[in-house]
Amino acid sequence: MIEISLISNSGCGMAKMISVVAGTTLANFLEVHFDGNPDDFKIRVRSNGMSVEVHDDYVLQDGDRVSLTPAKVDGAS
């Protein structure tokens, strides 16, 4: 098991530590731990202190921070 930090900036925002099985991809992680459509969010991963560009098949590493920010704020044009 590895520990991932999930930071969501939607609504009131939240941050929590989540244990996942080693080898979990970003897509699998979001499917299980995120209630929403990932296409509606800007997803960033901070790994080993550096922001990295990732795709759905990115394999999460112990200590990664996954940040979700709405791509469009409700009411904005």
DSSP 25: B
pLDDT digits over 11-67, tens only?
566 788 999 999 999 989 888 887 777 788 888 899 888 887 788 899 999 999 998
pTM over 0.85: no
DSSP helix, strand, coil percent of the chain (3-state; round to 5): 15, 40, 45
Total domains present in the chain? 1
pLDDT of residue 18: 92
Instruction: Identify which of 16, 8, 12 has the alpha carbon closest to the alpha carbon of residue 41.
Output: 8
**Does any domain span residue 40?**
yes
Two tokens, residue 35: 């209630």
**Does any domain span residue 75?**
no
**Does any domain span residue 52?**
yes
CATH of the domain at 62: 3.10.20.30
Q: Does the pLDDT value for residue 76 go beyond 60?
A: no
- 53-57 CB contacts, 8 Å cutoff, 24+ apart: 54/26, 55/26, 56/25, 56/26, 56/27, 57/25, 57/26, 57/27
**Does any domain span residue 77?**
no
